[in-house]
Structure 1
Amino acid sequence: MSEFDYDLFVIGGGSGGVRAARVAAGEAGAKVALAEHDRYGGTCVIRGCVPKKLMVFASSYATIPDESTAYGWDLRNYGFTWDKFAGRMREELDRLEQIYRNLLSGSGVETFDTRARIKDAHTVELANGDTYTAKHILVATGGRPVRPDMPNADMGIVSDDIFHLETLPKSILIIGGGYIACEFACILAGLGVEVTQYYRGAQILRGFDDEARGLIAESMREMGVDLHTGSNIVEMERYRGEDTDGMEAPMEAKQFAQPAEDAPKEGPLKVKATNGRIKVFDQVLFATGRKPNTEDMGLEEVGVTLGRNGEIEVDEYSQTKVPSIYAIGDVTDRVNLTPVAIREGMAFVETVFKGNPTPVDHELIPSAVFTQPELGTVGMTEEEARDQEGVEVYCTSFRPMQTAFAEKPHRVLMKLIVSTESRRVLGCHIVAPGAGEMIQMAGIAVKMGATKEDFDRTVAVHPTMSEEIVTMRKPMRTA
């Protein structure tokens, strides 16, 4: 009989934790428990990828009535009802959460709907004081959005809050230039919200290919997003109904005094930017970063090392400095993507319960940014490749047939980064409707080490946007 209550205790019911728990129990025969204090499914299913993608779908219908006119249709009598959509979205999230619960119970995993923290290397303590021992502990608590350190930041919302809005604001200011900020800017603009976006950097989507970033910024402005780079929020307070004449002109900072006792608790927000611009918005969304959920978990007390952002430091097998404690997913702040967390969970089970030490492969991971149009990317950007080896850049940007026929300005981008020495395709970047679907397929070739000549030998599917990936013969430039 085991000296422990469980072979494995998982803290966190997101995609990574649930996958590790049910595979360890269902395939490896381990005795497993899992604790989750919020909803099962984690960030992706409940307050991230899934509801956000549903909102992307909803917002994408906005352009159909107008564009369809060029194709002989008359769909002018249309409108969007947030209540109807939000209700259906929440029903879908409830359905998915129940699937996660069923997967766990069907695999024999015992679940605790409460918060858990680590008491020692083999002991987990629940919020009610109950303790359980486990041979192995897996931390999969994910991350959360954070607000900036400034007065009245609590008056704004973060990405988690978007899905719980009772009504859509008429106007919103989005602070940030990462993929979350840009995705919600496109979504809300598509749903008819007047969107303004401030980003302190020179260009949005830092870390992605520069050419792709530029085209997406251009497209966002074309769809009506009032995008200001090199700008940030300075002060914010509740709007008290004062005269708005000339409000976008610079005003004295003293107008942003600390809130008086009789200041409104709800309602529009008056915001001052670094350029002196002052404007009133119904809502302000902070998309300024995320932080691992490691606070008050007892991790450092038992010897687990945390990084500068609070992330759990692990080795290539997701093991911490404490041999019995492992961590996967966003709480480790390695590659914060749901499929990566699932892969890490699977590798953990292979390593610990199947006797097959499996390091996690974080190389050449395809990903997508669900702006409008989407960005699909895998491998090196042009800027990264230039710093490492000689490259050829194959690139084309054009108006695709569907939107060109409708006389719309929207352009797409297809780009390959190729090593001049090995001829391997080092990176592929696509900006286009459906780029997320395209990059999944291109990612297979790049991961396999395909060369430019392998792409060239592939017959094009015509007429499609993606055929350009295999028909570009001459490099635009070399470096």
Structure 2
Amino acid sequence: MHHDFDYFVIGAGSGGVRSARVAASHGAKVAIAEEHRVGGTCVIRGCVPKKLLVFGAHFAEDLEDATRFGWTLGARSFDWQNLRDNVLAEVDRLNRAYQATLDSHGVETFHARAVLAGPNRVRVGNRELTARHVLVATGAHPQLPADIPGAELGITSNEVFHLEHLPERIAIVGGGYIANEFAGIFHQLGSQVTQIVRSNRLLKGWEPALADRLLQIMMQKHLDIRLNCQPKAVVKQADGTLRILLSSGPDVEADVLLWAVGRIPNADGLGLEELGVERRNRGEIAVDSANTTSLPWLHAVGDVTDRMQLTPIAIREGHALADRLFGGRNWKVDYTHVPSAVFSHPPIASVGLTEPEARERLGGVRIFTADFRPMQHVLAGRDERALYKLVVDASTDRLVGAHMIGPEAPEILQVLAIAIRAGLTKAQLDSTVALHPTMAEELVLMRETG
């Protein structure tokens, strides 16, 4: 049967763009549809602009510390609009770059919403097109609480990059990575931050020692962290500010309320139900290990499957799928030993098993830690300490987990992810000569603590 395209991709985020490009490089006739902007969450309203804000926020402490390193600085001030506009200009550049990549590979782009119209059929605007294979790569969106009166008065991470002014007071609801990242950003830029966390700790599921250390540092920096607490209602006051009524403790007044309470797969309204495509607990599209749905011509990758909401995972899934369908290469994504980071202040990075996970799965484990003040903090007069932690299988001496909080932790952790994936042992790490003076040398000088 003749089709208009070999491959039609719905959603031009990181996973969709990679899959479309790779399929086209294999000779497939490819189209992609995007109703917002090419680049998706990560590039347009996620990890890239957020990391640029993180860089901007770091200057607050760097400028303060500079005097201890001999620098004499004049009057200092911060211009939110300047940083915001420069970040958005970079987003525009990346959007053009992603579009240029699609164009250079001969991928036809439809700047419109696309939905499934039947078997092997896609509707784009008022047109119906056919394709041998269709990929849904529509990502996810920030969740707003449905059961809290006035929740709509807050914003999400989608809108935070477009704030007209730097808020004098901001309340952030959530204890996950997005909440902690923006808490650090706004605190460093000069806002009064109140973080409201439903549970009794930050970063559920992460290595507990890192989460505890981050909480300690944030409180030392005078962020107002409210644990075991959740909003009951949000009220707009006469002066336009917000009052957040809490389940316990005093209410919070803020100029801006940021919800960071999870992300929901973008799978509604795509025509999945009419085709009988299975969806699971949070509405995500059910796929097999090869990212194919119950219909052999329909596939899904990335956050819309809710398997692991990380940009590099979506990219690998999209690449593997295109290779399998059009390139004669049958490989699958390995979801073990995936590194991840929280770009908090200071940043956190992790790979492999946490200590509780390792004790439950392996029984016998050995724990090695380094708890130290980075050299730059010593001279600057800061008490902030870094913490590195290695989890080792006692029976094999293999590294099974690595967890770090401190300056440049994500940059250092990437190398440890390679070591853990390669199955290296603690003895092999110890046999490596330290590179002195660096923070990373602590990885080969760590002491056993458990």
Distance 1:404 1:125 in 2: 61
| Structure 2 residue 257 is matched with structure 1 residue 289 | no
Q: Distance in 2 between matches of 1:276 and 1:443?
A: 42
Post-superposition offset of 1:300: 2.1
- Greater shift, 55-64 or 278-287, is seen at 278-287
Closer, same or farther in 2 for the Cα pair 1:412/1:201, shift >3 Å?
A: same
Question: Given the alignment, which residue of 188, 192, 210 partners 1:194?
Answer: 192
1:178 is aligned with what amino acid?
Answer: G
Shift of 1:218: 1.1
**SS at the partner of 1:358?**
coil
**1:373 alignment partner, one of 346, 356, 368:** 346
1:65, 1:74 within 8 Å by CA — same for their partners in 2?
A: no
CA distance in 1, matches of 2:222, 2:53: 18
Letter in 2 for 1:10: V
Please say if 1:400 is aligned against 2:374: yes
Equivalent residues in 2 for 1:207-218, closer than 5 Å: 207-218=205-216
- Extract unaligned runs of 5+ from structure 2: none
Distance, in Å, in 1 between the alignment partners of 2:301 and 2:233 is 37
Match of 1:160, SS state, is coil
| Bigger mean CA deviation after superposition, 396-405 or 93-102 | 396-405
Q: 1:18 aligns to what?
A: 17
Task: Give the corresponding residue for 1:278.
Answer: 251
Secondary structure of 2:159's aligned partner: helix
Contact 2:170 2:255 in 1 (8 A): yes
Tell whether 2:402 aligns with 1:428. yes
| Deviation, structure 1 residue 76 | 5.0
Alpha-carbon contact 1:232-1:274 (below 8 Å) kept:
yes
> What is residue 454 of structure 1 aligned with on the other side?
428
Secondary structure of the residue that 2:158 maps to in structure 1? helix
Which of 415, 433, 443 is the aligned partner of 1:441? 415
Native 8 Å contact 1:366 1:376 kept in 2:
yes
Match of 1:301 in 2: 274
Equivalent position SS for 1:117: strand
Deviations 1:101-151 (A, max 9, x none): 00001100011000011112200011x221000000000000000111211
Which residue in the other structure is 2:448 paired with? Answer: 475
Cα distance in 2 between the residues matched to 1:77 and 1:431:
32
The offset of 1:355, in angstroms, is 2.1
What letter matches 1:337 in structure 2? L
2:234 paired residue among 230, 233, 236: 236
CA distance in 2 between partners of 1:19 and 1:13 (Å): 9
Following the alignment from structure 2 to structure 1, what is the Cα–Cα distance between the partners of residues 180 and 5? 43
The RMSD of aligned alpha carbons is: 1.0
Q: How far did residue 356 of structure 1 move?
A: 2.1
Equivalence for 1:222:
220
Q: In structure 1, what is the equivalent of residue 128 of structure 2?
A: 131
Partner of 1:6: 5
Question: In the comparison of the two structures, how many residue pairs are matched?
Answer: 448
| Secondary structure in structure 1 of the residue aligned to 2:116 | strand
Task: Please give the secondary structure, in 2, of the residue aligned with 1:272.
Answer: strand
Secondary structure (helix, strand or coil) at the match of 1:240 reads coil
| Contact 2:22 2:323 (C-alpha < 8 Å) held by counterparts | no
Alignment partners' CA distance in 1, 2:232 and 2:205: 25
The CA distance in 1 between the partners of 2:418 and 2:119, in whole Å, is: 40
On the 8 A contact 1:65/1:76 being kept in 2, the answer is no
Q: Which residue pairs with 1:145 in the alignment?
A: 142
Superposition map of 1:235-254 within 5 A: 235-240=233-238
Q: Distance in 1 between matches of 2:252 and 2:342?
A: 29
Within the candidate set 339, 352, 357, 2:312 is matched to 339
How big is the shift at 1:284? 0.6
In 1, Cα distance between equivalents of 2:186 and 2:222? 10
> Residue 289 of structure 2 aligns with which residue?
316
SS at match of 1:195: strand
Residue type matched to 2:258 in 1?
Answer: L
For the residues of structure 2 that align with 1:442 and 1:138, how far apart are their CA atoms? 34
Q: Determine whether 1:84 maps to 2:57.
A: no
Q: Which of these residues, 342, 349, 352, is aligned with residue 325 of structure 2?
A: 352
Residues 62 and 191, structure 1, Cα contact 8 Å, conserved in 2: yes
Task: Give TM-score scaled by structure 2 length.
Answer: 0.98
Q: Deviations over 1:392-449 (max 9, x none)?
A: 0001211111101221111101110000011110000010111110111111111101
1:413, 1:45 → 2: CA distance?
30
**Structure 1: unaligned runs, 5 residues or longer:** 242-266
Structure 2 match to 1:383: 356
Deviates more, 1:65-74 or 1:368-377: 65-74
**Normalised by the size of structure 1, how large is the TM-score?**
0.92
Deviations 1:146-177 (A, max 9, x none): 11121111100011110111111110100000
Q: Aligned letter for 1:165?
A: L
* Contact 1:392/1:420 (8 A) holds in 2: yes
| Partner SS state of residue 295, structure 1 | coil
Q: Report the 3-state secondary structure (helix = DSSP H, G, I; strand = E; otherwise coil) of the residue aligned with 2:162.
A: coil
Inter-partner Cα distance in structure 1 for 2:38 and 2:229: 38
